[in-house]
Amino acid sequence: MTTPPGGQRTGLAHLPLHGGKAPPWLFQRMVKLARGMTLAIVEDYGPDEVLRRLSDPFWFQAFGCVLGFDWHSSGVTTTVCGALKEGLRGLEHESGLWVAGGKGGTSRKTPGEVTEAGQRTGLDPAPLVYASRMAAKVDSAALQDGYQLYHHSFFFTVKGQWAVVQQGMNAQDRYARRYHWLGQRVESFVREPHAAIAAQARGQYVLNLVAAEAEPARQAIPAVAQERPEVLVAELKRLKMLELPVHHHIELADLDPDRLYKALLVTYERQPSNFEGLLALPGVGPRTVRALSLVAELVHGVPVGHREPALYAFAHGGKDGYPFPVDRATYDQTVHILSEAVRRARLGQREELDALRRLASFGRAG
C-alpha cells in the first residue's frame, strides 16, 4: 500500500474474474443485512462515514464477506453495490444516502439518476454528474492498465459528498480491478488520485497519466491537442515508421491516424486549456489520449507515467461454500438483531446499538 501526496482515489482491488451471481435466497438476505448495517453506521456516525468506508477497498471487501459473498470473486463488487442500491431504495431521505449506476448498461443511467435525486432534494446535480464522469474517464483513459470498465456505482449525500466504486475487467488474464474514490479527498482528478492500492498482480504495460511524474506530459498534451488535426495525423504517420519504445505497448490500431482524425478535430476545435479539460471532452477516449501522449513524449521530450498503480473475514460463510456454506439461520438472526437495534435507537433506546459499539471496541482492543 502507498499513500502518495495529492488528492485521492482511495484504492484499487485486484480480483479473479468469476461468472455467476448470488442466488435469490442469498441476495434477498444481503439486501436486508446491507440495509441494516448501513443504517447502523448512519445512526452512529452519519452518511459521510458510509462513503468513507465504501471508499476503503479493505473495508468494502470485508463488508462483502460479512454479507456472504466469496472474498476472492470479482462478483463481490457488483453484488454488494446492487444489494446496497436495493436496500436503500425508498430510504434515501431517512439514510441521507443515494446510490446511482451499477453494472453494464445501468452504469450509463448514473447522470439521469443523480439529476432525478437533485430535483427531489434541491441539490445541484451538475458537480456530482461531473465527478461521476471524470472518475470513469480517469480510470479508462488517463490510467490505461489493461482493464475495461463495466461497473460504475456512484454514492452521494444531500450535502453533495460522494464516493465511487467501479470495476474493470481484463479478459486475457481473467482478473478484475476495483477502483475506489472519495470525493472529500479529491483535490485533483488528474494528479495522484491513489491513496491506497491492494493488488495481486502488476501490469506490464501501463500508461499512467495521473502519476506525479507525468506532470510535464499533463502540461504538454493539451498543447499537442491544440495542433491542427492534419499536423498531428502527419506526425503520427511518421511515428508509426519508427521503432516505438516498448513501455508504450502501442498496437498499430491504436495509432491509426485516419481513425483518430475526428477525435483530434474535437480537441482542436475545443482548444482545451489543461489536461483535465481535455479528458472531459466527449469523444476523447483511451486511443486519443495514448496517441497524444506518444506525440508529447517522442516529439517534445516530456516523460509520461508508466508506474503501475497497483484481505478479509467471513461471518456467515460464502455463497459457493467457502470457507463454509452460508448459515441461513445465523444470517437471519443477525439481520433481525441489527434491524431491531437501529429501530430502537431511533426511538431513543440506544442500549442495543451501544452494545454493538462496545463489542467492536473490545475486538479492536484484543
Which of these, 290, 286, 287, 283, lies nearest to 305 by C-alpha position?
290
pLDDT digit of tens for each residue in the chain (366 aa)? Answer: 333 333 456 666 767 776 667 789 989 999 999 999 999 999 999 999 999 999 988 888 888 888 887 656 778 889 999 999 999 999 999 999 999 999 999 999 999 999 999 999 999 999 999 999 999 999 999 988 888 999 999 999 999 999 999 998 888 878 888 889 999 988 899 987 654 444 444 555 688 898 888 899 999 999 999 999 898 888 877 776 655 554 455 554 556 777 788 888 989 999 999 999 999 999 899 888 988 888 888 777 787 776 765 434 445 556 555 555 677 777 677 777 777 776 777 667 676 656 555 545 534 444
The alpha carbon of residue 237 and the mean position of all alpha carbons in its chain are separated, in whole angstroms, by: 35
Residues 6+ apart with CB under 8 A from 204: 249
In this structure, which long-range contacts are made by residues 238-246, counting pairs with CB atoms below 8 Å and at least 24 apart in sequence?
A: 239/294, 239/295, 239/298, 242/298, 244/294, 244/298, 245/297, 245/298
328 φ, ψ to 5°? -65, -40
Which of these, 223, 218, 133, 206, lies nearest to 170 by C-alpha position?
206
User: Distance between CA 187 and CA 10 in Å, rounded?
Assistant: 12
The confidence score (pLDDT) of residue 363 equals 40
Model confidence, pTM: 0.79
The confidence score (pLDDT) of residue 99 equals 98
Strand 9-16 versus strand 162-170 pairing type: unpaired
Cα angle value 344/347/349 (rounded, 5°): 55
The confidence score (pLDDT) of residue 6 equals 37
The confidence score (pLDDT) of residue 1 equals 32
User: Distance between CA 154 and CA 81 in Å, rounded?
Assistant: 9
Backbone CA torsion sign across 256, 258, 263, 265: positive
The confidence score (pLDDT) of residue 198 equals 43
**Contact between residue 308 and residue 202 where contact means Cβ atoms under 8 Å apart:** yes
b or e along 309-344 (b: 16 or more beta carbons within 10 Å of the residue's beta carbon)?
bbeeebebbbbeeeeeebeeeebeebbeebbebbee
Residues 6+ apart with CB under 8 A from 105: none
User: Distance between CA 243 and CA 1 in Å, rounded?
Assistant: 35
**Contact between residue 38 and residue 49 where contact means Cβ atoms under 8 Å apart:** no
Which of these, 98, 67, 95, 91, lies nearest to 80 by C-alpha position?
67
Residues 6+ apart with CB under 8 A from 31: 83, 86, 87
User: Distance between CA 17 and CA 353 in Å, rounded?
Assistant: 37
The confidence score (pLDDT) of residue 311 equals 35
**Contact between residue 232 and residue 328 where contact means Cβ atoms under 8 Å apart:** no
The confidence score (pLDDT) of residue 358 equals 52
The alpha carbon of residue 200 and the mean position of all alpha carbons in its chain are separated, in whole angstroms, by: 17
